[in-house]
Amino acid sequence: MTTITQHLSYLYREMGQLADIFVPELKTHTAMEKKNNTTKTQVYNLVILDKSGSMECIRKEAVNGYNETLGTIKAAQLKHLDTQEHFVSLAAFCGCGINMIYDKTPIAEAEKLTLKQYDPCCCTPLFDAIGKTIKQLKKDIEKVEDAAVLVTIITDGEENASKEWTGPAVKALIENCKEDGWMFSFIGAGEDIIHIATTISITNTVLWEQTSKGTDDVFANENDAQSRYYDKMAAPCCASASVADRKKMRKQFSEEYYDKDKK
C-alpha cells in the first residue's frame, strides 16, 4: 500500500519538476521586479550537508532528498512570487573542507545536485562547518533589510574533527542569529541527536533512520515543514507587517516548525 510519505515525496518531485518548467517565468518576474523596484522578503535557504565517509551507504538517497528539498523551494518561489525572493546555499562538508556547491544562488538558477558533486569521504568537522558557513552568510546579508534565513543541518555522526570552532562558540553564534529571526533545524542519526542539537541551541530536531525509507521519510517531513514556514511568511498578517514585526513573527514560526497543527 502506498504510504503518505511516498505520496508526499512524489508530490514534491512533481512540484519541483513543475518549477523547473517555469524557471524562465521566475527569471522574467525577477527582472520585472528589479525594473519596478519592488521590495520583498529575501529568503536564504542554507543546507549544511555532512559528506563524511559514513554517508556513502546512503549517498544516492541523500542526493535525491536534497533535490526534493530544492523542488520544494522552487515550488514556494512560484507560489509566493509577490512576497518572497528565494536563494539557496549548499555546503557539503568533510575533513577535506567545505564545498560551497551553491552560495546564495537565486533559486531559478540552482540546478539539481549530482552524485559526482557529492562524494563522501573521511571525518566530520561539524562545528567548523556550521560556524564558518553561518558566520559568512551573516556577514554577506548584513545589509539586507528584510532577510529570512532557514538553516538545515544534516549529519549522521558526531563532531570529531573541528579545528577552529567549538560547541560553545557555535551555540553563541546560533543564539545571536535566532534573535534576528533565523530558523534552524537539525536532522541527525543516533540516540544523542537531541543532546547534540540542544548543546548548540537548536530545538528543531529530527531523528534520522539511515535506511532508504528512513531517508525518504526525513526529507518528506523536512519539506513539509519548510512549505508551512514559507506559507506563514506569505500570510497577509506577516507580509504586510513592518520589518521588525516580521522578524518577531519568524521567531514564533521557528518554534512551531515541525508542528503540523500550527498552519
Per domain, the residue ranges of the chain are: 43-255
Mean pLDDT, residues 123-147 taken together: 97
The pLDDT of residue 13 is above 70: no
Strand ranges (E), the chain: 41-50, 84-94, 97-106, 147-155, 183-188, 205-207
Give the separation between CA 91 and CA 129, rounded to whole angstroms: 8
The pLDDT of residue 22 is above 90: no
The pLDDT of residue 258 is above 80: yes
Q: What angle do CA 17, 18, 24 make, to 5 degrees?
A: 105
Q: Distances in Å between the alpha carbon of 220 and those of 70, 71, 129?
A: 12, 12, 24
The pLDDT of residue 17 is above 70: no
Q: What are phi and psi of 242, to 5 degrees?
A: -70, 165
pLDDT one-digit tens code per residue, 47-85: 999 999 999 988 999 999 999 999 999 999 999 999 999
Strand partners, 162: none
Percent of the chain with pLDDT over 90: 74
Give the separation between CA 86 and CA 74, rounded to whole angstroms: 8
164: its cell numbers:
577552529
**CATH C-level class of 43-255:** alpha beta
Give the model's pLDDT for residue 212. Answer: 85
User: Contact at 8 Å (CB) between 43 and 86?
Assistant: yes
Provide the sign of the torsion angle of the four alpha carbons 125, 127, 128, 133, taken in this order: positive
Residue carrying C-alpha cell 514560526: 253
pLDDT one-digit tens code per residue, 212-252: 899 889 999 999 999 999 999 999 999 999 999 999 999 99
The pLDDT of residue 36 is above 50: no
Give the separation between CA 232 and CA 183, rounded to whole angstroms: 13
The pLDDT of residue 130 is above 70: yes
Give the model's pLDDT for residue 23. Answer: 52
Mean pLDDT, residues 134-140 taken together: 98
Give the separation between CA 184 and CA 205, rounded to whole angstroms: 9
Give the model's pLDDT for residue 52. Answer: 95
pLDDT band at 4 (very low <50, low <70, confident <90, very high): very low
pLDDT band at 26 (very low <50, low <70, confident <90, very high): low
* DSSP 3-state of 73: helix
The pLDDT of residue 38 is above 50: no
Mean pLDDT, residues 117-127 taken together: 96
Mean pLDDT, residues 143-153 taken together: 97
Give the separation between CA 182 and CA 42, rounded to whole angstroms: 12
Amino acid at 143: K
The pLDDT of residue 1 is above 50: no
Mean pLDDT, residues 175-201 taken together: 93
Give the separation between CA 16 and CA 25, rounded to whole angstroms: 14
The pLDDT of residue 27 is above 70: no
Give the model's pLDDT for residue 2. Answer: 41
Residues in the chain: 263
